[in-house]
Structure 1
Amino acid sequence: MKRISYIFLVVALLGVSCKKDFLQRTPATAITGNDFFNTTADLETYTNGLYTQQLRAIWADVEAADKFSDNISIYTGSSEIDNLIRGGVTPGNTKGWDQGTWGMLRNINFMLDNVGKTTGDQVVINHYIGVARFFRANFYFNMVKRYGDVPWYSRVLGNKEEDMLQKAKDPRTAVMDSIMADLEYAAANVLPARTNNTYVTKWGALTLLARVALHEGTYRKYHNELGLESSAQTFLQRAVSASQEIMDNGGFQITGTGAAGYRALFESNDLSANKEVIFLQKNNKEQGIANNTHVVLDWQWALSSSLANEFLMTDGTPFTSQAGYETKTFVNLFTNRDPRLAETIMTPGFVTTPGGNPYLTRPNFGGYLQVKFYPRDPALRGGWVLNYTDLPIFRYAEVLLTNVEAKAESGTLNQGDIDATINKLRTRVGMPALDLAAANGTPDAYLAGKYPLVTGANKGVILEIRRERRVELACEGFRLDDLYRWKAGSLLAQNPGGMYVPALGGLDVTGDGVADIAILQSKDDESPIVGLPADVKEKIVKYYLSDGAFILSNGTSGTVMFAKDVAQPRNFVEPKYYYFPIPASQVMLSNKKLTQPAGWE
């Protein structure tokens, strides 16, 4: 099947636009309002196009994936979140809320407005209505996360409907109720299976429903400034029941064994039959469908010591409870650690080609380079946008973590729940089981310092659930949303760190005992490496503090930090930075009834 372009009606312009389809749908014809939506085949063609506009696998790009969260040490590209926490975002320069933002909603509502004339099997018709409502729910979920209150539109607006076009925002509570109604319809009507897992199914709808319910339940619980704490339990309970339905009836399971089993989820060329994948982005060399996942390694970003510190020791104890954990060098960081650490951050001696030379880490990026999603098989790496690994969009591990967190936050958790969720993830990689009584008996002090709002009888286990979620789902696009819903945005104000450097001079970063790189004050002072053998000095890669890209926390030793954080300090303004402003032009010119989110007035 070859690449094709879909043709969509763009309602606002009464024209058409083309979208490349990464899921390789088969088109029928140009879509117009007068002669389309007559058959279920029309609905199939139209909804196929909605996939390309909204849901994609999240794997590498920092803005899309970990969104410049505390999982990231440094990002050299352009990031809204980075700009936000340095005070650079204003209503005058922010983007969004324009034709491009609302076009997706218009496309969805256009179909829902016209589906009443479709003839055929009503079960199939309801299925496609459910798919459209699934995508509308996802659209509005992202809008609520970004702006809080937003205007809800359930139909396409014509040119003469000025009153509706100029409506004020609807309250968060009303919008979330409408989102949940869309998802409930989708979960009840989208069919359990289609040709393959590259389509939305009942289980995909339930996964999104559980994700949204957990997000809103915890957001209301911890964001007391909203005054919605009393309604949090309803959402948490729905997160439990939706995820439990998947666990009981979906036929999914945690797959693979050990580090290799975990790695296979992110670098396989065929996940079509994988029982852990609920919704998939399929890539295929023969069909010319590719991704760009090789750029996770040493392109524009690296991962943080904050992330690395939360991976447990292999005996199940916290790394941060080890004496001197802050001064563990790069070579020693991975000793006796959760195997998922080495599947997330590049280890000493890592090679990109079997039999090749070890890849050298870079201190000017912090030293913790990402390998999760990196195609280890060179045959799957063909260059820029020429990688052929399949990419999960929804996977079963998220469902398990949703289930256990929602139960813990709602106060219904027991050891059996932990065994059915977190401990399945730990068992895969050979990690010790989490014990409910032990976790609550002695909450981890390091995590408690990060999340001071966590209190109560389940404090210890909630902290451990947050650890497990961060570790298992690292680099998959969850971390920023998690910090926001837990009201832990202040962690974004902390300067991220990289690897520990004991002193200026040569450093072994491949594990063979020979210095591979050197950190020096300047090109004028190479005294720290004067005693190295000549052949070592000839090959060593040098980095200079005087270049200004990075610093060491203690001057000539310590954790790698970044000069940008000194020149442009980070700050997180509560509760203002939990939302983005609406562009001033939209407020002043397009709709004067719009008001800014809290703090942006």
Structure 2
Amino acid sequence: MRTKIILAATVLSLAVTSCKKDFVDQADPNAGAINGGLKTETDVLNAVNGVYQSLRSGNCVGEGAALWTDDRADDVNTTDNQSNNGEPFQFSAFSIVPSNSYLQSHWTALYLPISRANLVLSLIDGVTFANEANRTIYKAELKFIRAYMYYNLVKEFGDVPVVTERITTKEQAAALTVRQPRQVVYDQIVTDLLDVLASNLPVRHPENGKGRVSMQAANGLLGLVYLTMGTSLDGANAQANFTLAETYLLACYNQRTFGKLSDIPFSDVFDVT
């Protein structure tokens, strides 16, 4: 009997010690490597392309994003008030309620490129580049995209959280994800875009680079930002913001050579070929 008791106690002891927390491998085998994930210029390029990819969502600024722009103006009108529980109709009917699920999807989609840009920016300086000019270009592209997303956020939601670093802990997330005044958001947008304009980005890309950030795009966006600041922030600074808007918008315009309208044959005006 004593032998059976000792044996049972031994088995129980082994069972208890086998359940120690560190006995189980808690690492997620499906999680992609982050800290060591960028090792070459090609890795960085692929990561930057991943940031561009997140812009394509209709919940962000891709196809279908008119819901956040034209549908909220008087340019278009949605007559179908039944599909998706009538939520899209709320945008054109100016009857959006906080529970509209499209708002959450849009908010999340705008912050996704920001999160990805912050991640790549936090790792890019640890990568060796054969061509250092590419490092500067990639940084400029990422900062432009971050600024573009914050411009959409502040224009649509007003005060929003401003995060410009990679979030790695819950405590960091709690500290950073609090709403900041619109002026703070615009200040960050301007800072990023001035960095872009100080970079070595091309004025315009050749055909194989169409769609990527250019110096002309940076001037155009910064001009638009100042124009919006002039109409939506403190009126005391409106004229100064309008003057800056004119400066950058003219710079954008002058970075492309335009011909005269009279140079286009009338028969070509409506030619879509």
Please report the TM-score for the alignment, with normalisation by the length of structure 1.
Answer: 0.34
Shift of 1:101: 4.6
| Alpha carbons 1:83, 1:89 under 8 Å: kept | yes
1:92 aligns with 2:99: yes
1:503-554 alpha-carbon deviations (Å, 9 max, x no partner): xxxxxxxxxxxxxxxxxxxxxxxxxxxxxxxxxxxxxxxxxxxxxxxxxxxx
Q: For 1:169, which of 162, 179, 183 is the aligned residue? A: 179
For residues 487-508 of structure 1, the C-alpha deviation after alignment (integer angstroms, 9 at most, x for no partner) is xxxxxxxxxxxxxxxxxxxxxx
1:116 aligns with 2:125: yes
* Alpha-carbon distance in 1 for matches of 2:195, 2:77: 41
Distance in 1, Cα, partners of 2:156 & 2:133? 35
Distance 1:204 1:229 in 2: 27
Please tell me the residue identity of whatever aligns with 1:96.
Q
Matched, 1:105 2:139: no
Partner of 1:21 in structure 2? Answer: none
Change (3 A) 1:58 1:99: closer
The alpha-carbon deviation at position 127 of structure 1 amounts to 0.8
Q: Name the counterpart of 1:143.
A: 153
Percent of aligned positions that are identical: 21
Q: What's the counterpart of residue 70 of structure 1?
A: 74
CA distance in 1, matches of 2:29, 2:217: 32
Q: For residues 163 and 29 of structure 2, what CA distance do their matches in structure 1 show?
A: 18
Cα shift readout 1:177-206 (whole Å, capped 9, x = no counterpart) = 101111121222123244422322111222
Post-superposition Cα deviations, 1:14-63, rounded to whole Å, max 9, x if no partner, equal 977xxxxxxxxxxxxxx732334333333222212222221688787752
Higher strand share: 1
Identify the residue that residue 53 of structure 2 maps to in structure 1: 52
Backbone CA RMSD of aligned residues: 3.5
- Cα distance in 2 for partners of 1:243, 1:87 equals 31
Q: Is the 8 A contact 2:110 2:153 kept in 1?
A: no
Whole-angstrom distance in 2 between the partners of 1:92 and 1:60:
21
Corresponding residue for residue 34 of structure 1: 35
1:191 counterpart letter in structure 2:
P
Equivalent residue, structure 2, for 1:213: 226
Partner of 1:233: 239
One-letter amino acid matched to 2:184 = A
Q: Is the 8 A contact 1:149 1:172 kept in 2?
A: yes
Distance 1:15 1:250, change over 3 A: farther
Match of residue 201 from structure 1 = 214
Shift, 1:145, TM fit: 1.5
Deviation for aligned residue 1:155: 0.8
TM-score, with length taken from structure 2: 0.70
Equivalence for 2:20: none
- Per-residue CA distance 1:424-475 (angstroms, 9 max, x = gap): xxxxxxxxxxxxxxxxxxxxxxxxxxxxxxxxxxxxxxxxxxxxxxxxxxxx
Q: Check 1:109–1:259 CA distance in 2 against 1; reply closer, same or farther (3 A cut).
A: farther
* Change in 2 beyond 3 A, CA 1:168/1:73: closer
Structure 2 counterpart of 1:118, one-letter code:
V
- Per-residue Cα deviation, 1:52-101 (whole angstroms, up to 9, x for no partner): 22168878775256225222255336676741575743323453176545
Determine whether 1:247 maps to 2:260. no
Distance apart, 1:106 and its partner CA: 1.2
1:171–1:254 distance in 2 versus 1, CA, 3 Å: farther
Whole-angstrom CA distance in 2 between matches of 1:174 and 1:125: 27
Q: How far apart are 1:260 and its partner, in Å?
A: 6.5
- The counterpart of 1:257, out of the listed 244, 254, 264, is 264
Secondary structure at the residue paired with 2:42? Answer: helix
Unaligned runs of 5+ in 2: 1-27
Aligned residue for 1:428?
none
2: distance between equivalents of 1:58 and 1:259? 33
Structure 2 equivalent of residue 183 of structure 1: 193
Q: How far does the alpha carbon of each residue in 1:148-179 deviate from its partner, in whole angstroms, 9 at most, with x for none?
A: 00110011211342564564311100110101
Distance 2:239 2:214 in 1: 27
Q: Is contact 1:151-1:168 (8 Å) kept? A: yes
Q: C-alpha distance in 1, partners of 2:230/2:267?
A: 35
Residue of 203, 211, 215 corresponding to 1:192: 203
- SS of the aligned residue for 2:104 comes to coil
